[in-house]
Amino acid sequence: MKIKKNDNVAVISGKDKGKSGKVLRAMPKAEKLLVESVNIIKRHQRPRKQGEKGQILQMPSPIHISNVMLICPKCSKPTRVGYRLEGGVKSRACKKCEGAI
């Protein structure tokens, strides 16, 4: 998986197309990401104790990795990710500006 936690991503398809946010969690086996303020769902929570009120919680739901693109920190544009070997160390690189990510 080429996108990791704390990366900034832009949504390129789906109901939240055009939005961007920070990756909160990456799930490589399921090929999904949890992105802040994207794919928000409402969860109804019942009251647990006597006198407590029920509530509606809003939380982000996972989005498939194919629906997002990484935003390069140098050129600030959505880009594909490549890899480079520099002195025996593999690092991610932007395909547009060739800068290290």
The DSSP 8-state label assigned to residue 66 in this structure reads: G
- Whether 93 has a pLDDT exceeding 90, the answer reads yes
- Whether 101 has a pLDDT exceeding 90, the answer reads no
- Whether 68 has a pLDDT exceeding 90, the answer reads yes
Burial 45-83 (b: 16+ CB within 10 A, else e): eeeeeeeeeeeeeeebebbebebbbbbbeeeeebbebee
Give the long-range contacts of residues 94-99, CB within 8 A, separation 24 or more: 96/72, 97/72, 99/72, 99/73, 99/74, 99/75
Q: What percent of the chain has pLDDT over 70?
A: 100
Instruction: Domain ranges for the chain, please list them.
Output: 8-73
For residue 35, name the pLDDT band (cuts at 50, 70, 90).
very high
Q: Considering the domain 8-73, what is its CATH architecture? A: Roll (2.30)
- Whether 86 has a pLDDT exceeding 90, the answer reads no
